[in-house]
Structure 1
Amino acid sequence: MSAPLLLFVESNTTGTGRQFAQRARAFGAEPVLLSADPGRYPYAADDELRTVVVDTADGDALWAAVQRLAAGARVAGVLSSSEYYVAAAADLAARLGLPGPSADAVRACRDKSVQRRSLADAGVPVPRFSVAGTVADAVAAAQWQGGPVVVKPVQGSGSLGVRLCRDSGEVVAHAGELLSATVNERGLRTPARVLVEQYLTGAEFSVEVFGEHAVVTVAKHVGEPPVFVETGHDVPAVLPAPEAAALADSAVHAVKALGLGWGAAHVELRLDGGVARVIEVNPRLAGGMIPELVRRARGIDLVGAQVRAGLGLPVDLIGTSGTVGAASIRFLTADGDAVLGDTDAAEAAALAVPGAVDAALYRPPGTRVGPAEDFRGRLGHVIAVADRPEESARAADTARSLGLATALEHAPVKEEMPV
């Protein structure tokens, strides 16, 4: 008898995409990637992953491809590790009578304006916010808020398009840029609306929720404004008990209020005077290699749990014994224009730090790089483990510094042409 199929609608380009397929095989299913362009995921060819080329933005074409697959084998589940396709995967699972979240809840959650209204109506603490469909509306919203505001697209991922605007001129420029865009970086249509929200300066965290259970709270490191590039994470976050409880309670309350409660949800929050305000809920597993940190620090395999849930198998979120206790990741980013040098030497320098267990540069030597505006500007990562979070954080910071110092060469200064 052939193995049942676990279908993946597209994938994330870094991090857990490959792990999803690996876990499917480990649990006795054959992973199948449905993608408009499988070539954007190098791991698919490296791992000899079965792929089906289909326009994943066309619901009818996607359903026809799934029906063809179902005619030849048993389809046991449909998932996506990409923010942009979780609703499509939920739709397909529902049509096939397979496990998954509510597709309507996922679609509503992915629109940050709808999500934010739902959370506010349910009494979940959130920042002050307005939704704007024109530049003039965005400026008026910022003036109503008073002070700096964050302007972001109502759909997106990886801090794309999220920017701190300190005055009306910056609001005009950034809102105008966002509202003029008709498609995102994946070529999918985007709503002509932006969110204008209160700028919170408190510490930022994420709570990884599975079903309606808060699994772990993660300390987030974010780069300097005006952009909000995530530069690292620590698992677990070290917090006083009242603040830890407030974060977990707000996260679970948010998931329930949005009608989710199946599988993984990644909830981002900031502490604001002791109040845990939800910035956004992502109806998917966390990015930024957070699941790998959770696995190393707590022995809980969130990727495996999501795959098992998609296959309709029992899920166990109890950590394994003998795990280290804490894990940290730091992403390598450039402070200015530079050129990548010897990436192998940079990885070796990072791994020489006691506690460092993983280091990777994402681009080849000779690549010109600059400061990161969003997750696409990350050059690589280092992961460290230790008995305590402060130790893993210190090791990751040291490994990052050594890796960057070895990897980056100053970009040549352009010579001025003679007049």
Structure 2
Amino acid sequence: MARRVLILVEGYSMDTARLYIQAAQRLGVHPIVVSADPIQCDLATEGIEAIRIDTKDLAALIGECSRLGTTYDIAGITSAEESLYATVGKLCRYFDLPGPNPASIEQCCDKFAQRQLLAQAGVSVPAYRLAANAADVESAAMEIGLPVILKPAVGTCSIGVRLCRDDDELAEHTTYLLGGKHIWWSSPRMLVEEFVQGPQYTAQIMGNKVIGITAAEFGPPPHFVYREFAFPALLTDDRHEHIADISLSCLRALDLGWGPTNIELRWTKRGPVVIEVNPRLAGSPDPQLVQLAYGVDLVAEHIKLVIGDEWNLRKRQSQTAAVRFLVPDRDGILDWIDGHSRAAAIAGVAEVKLYVKPKTPIIRKGDYRDTIAHVIAASHRLAQTEAILQRAVDLIDWSITRFPNFVE
């Protein structure tokens, strides 16, 4: 009998990709990664079967999967990458495997199309305009009123997203996006949006079931770099129900509901306002928080769906889990980072993970890539979890030497 395999398309987000690889192995399915650069992802050096291929080339992927199908029993195909999730849907349809609707994924990944569909369905979203050039940006900001959010119409992880509080910041960020420094996934199109204020939440969804809601906190503006997640969020029953209801309305409006989705919202004076719908599982460490809090392994349950097995989303325990991200306050060379071993030894700390090594250049970009480490903790109460996190974070210290010729 041929060996059952799970094909994982690409591994840019290696923390999340590793969760899929490990979960597949636990489920008795052999993972094979197809990647544009498996060496960069450290897959080949870790003994994980990896195949180099242009993952943007659908025909090449079909050919490679067909070749693998002559040796293996392909149980399923998936990806941890939003930019390739529509491609995964097309592969699944070609090989008659369970998978997402590629058309729904593509329209959801276009933030302008997403905004239009949500607004047409009566879902509350920020005021928005589409812009293709500097004149469009300026005109849209005048209509909406400063401050505004200026961001690419296609993209993830807050890359290229900035709060523009005045005309100078707006012009500066427009120049950055259009001046060749930002890498565009498609033709340059920008969204100018109302800056909606209020506590941030993320609804974690599998299929049509809201598993739970995460509370999120950002670092200081003008960027949107996450500093902390806590799961489940401390919400009244009414607010929880309201967020769950609007989240399911988003699924209907965008024709989603197969597999994982995460929906980012802010609670405002006018109730929940949807900031973004992401048609995929939230990246690491969100799945770890859900597993620590509820005992539900969202990655494994997603793989079960992908390979046609029956999933189980039943809550098995009740704790509160949280993660704190460590973010440097300057650019330069990381001389040293210490204290992580002592932090990991604290009771209640589930993980301390360093993203960088000493002598690494630190160049902040104003998005998720600015973080250099995280600490995860869990306990039966949020206040206790927060106290554990603080104790652990206080033990971790580092030194960064500014680059030569730095001018304050």
Does the 8 Å CA contact 1:124/1:250 hold for their aligned counterparts? yes
Does the 8 Å CA contact 1:9/1:88 hold for their aligned counterparts? no
Equivalent residue, structure 1, for 2:240: 244
Q: Identify the range of structure 1 (80-89 vs 392-401) with the bigger mean alpha-carbon deviation.
A: 392-401
TM-score (norm 1): 0.92
> CA, structure 1 residues 312+53, in 2 after alignment: closer, same or farther (shift >3 Å)?
same
Equivalent residue, structure 1, for 2:191: 195
Equivalent residue, structure 2, for 1:17: 17
Looking at structure 1, the residues matched to 126 and 246 of structure 2 have their Cα atoms a distance apart, in angstroms, of: 13
Letter of the aligned partner of 1:62 in structure 2?
A: L
Looking at structure 2, the residues matched to 347 and 105 of structure 1 have their Cα atoms a distance apart, in angstroms, of: 42
Equivalent residue, structure 1, for 2:326: 332
**After superposition, what is the alpha-carbon deviation per residue over 1:64-113, rounded to whole angstroms, capped at 9, x for unaligned?**
11121122222121100012111111110011111011000001111111
Equivalent residue, structure 2, for 1:355: 348
Does the 8 Å CA contact 1:202/1:272 hold for their aligned counterparts? yes
**After superposition, what is the alpha-carbon deviation per residue over 1:174-228, rounded to whole angstroms, capped at 9, x for unaligned?**
12332345973xxx74231111111011000100011111101000011111000
Looking at structure 1, the residues matched to 282 and 257 of structure 2 have their Cα atoms a distance apart, in angstroms, of: 15
Does the 8 Å CA contact 2:44/2:50 hold for their aligned counterparts? no
Q: Helix, strand or coil: the match of 1:41?
A: coil
Which residue of 305, 309, 326 corresponds with 1:309? 305
**After superposition, what is the alpha-carbon deviation per residue over 1:233-252, rounded to whole angstroms, capped at 9, x for unaligned?**
00110012222112111111
Q: Identify the range of structure 1 (363-372 vs 140-149) with the bigger mean alpha-carbon deviation.
A: 363-372
Please show how residues 107-146 of structure 1 align to structure 2 within 5 Å: 107-146=106-145
Give yes or no for the alignment of 1:30 onto 2:30. Answer: yes
Looking at structure 1, the residues matched to 351 and 323 of structure 2 have their Cα atoms a distance apart, in angstroms, of: 9
Looking at structure 2, the residues matched to 349 and 85 of structure 1 have their Cα atoms a distance apart, in angstroms, of: 39
Q: Helix, strand or coil: the match of 1:254?
A: helix
Does the 8 Å CA contact 1:324/1:385 hold for their aligned counterparts? no
Looking at structure 1, the residues matched to 180 and 336 of structure 2 have their Cα atoms a distance apart, in angstroms, of: 37
Letter of the aligned partner of 1:54 in structure 2?
A: I
> CA, structure 1 residues 347+341, in 2 after alignment: closer, same or farther (shift >3 Å)?
farther
Equivalent residue, structure 2, for 1:50: 49
**Structure 1 unmatched ranges of 5 or more:** none
Does the 8 Å CA contact 2:208/2:248 hold for their aligned counterparts? yes
Letter of the aligned partner of 1:164 in structure 2?
A: L
Q: CA deviation at 1:307?
A: 0.6
Equivalent residue, structure 1, for 2:161: 162
Does the 8 Å CA contact 1:182/1:190 hold for their aligned counterparts? no
Q: CA deviation at 1:290?
A: 0.5
The number of aligned residues is 407
Equivalent residue, structure 2, for 1:213: 209
Equivalent residue, structure 2, for 1:81: 80
Give yes or no for the alignment of 1:409 onto 2:375. Answer: no
**After superposition, what is the alpha-carbon deviation per residue over 1:275-302, rounded to whole angstroms, capped at 9, x for unaligned?**
1111111111001410001001110110
Q: CA deviation at 1:401?
A: 3.2
User: Structure 1 stretches (4+) deviating beyond 6 angstroms?
Assistant: none
**Structure 2 unmatched ranges of 5 or more:** none
Identity of aligned residues (%): 33
> CA, structure 1 residues 339+346, in 2 after alignment: closer, same or farther (shift >3 Å)?
farther
Equivalent residue, structure 1, for 2:378: 385
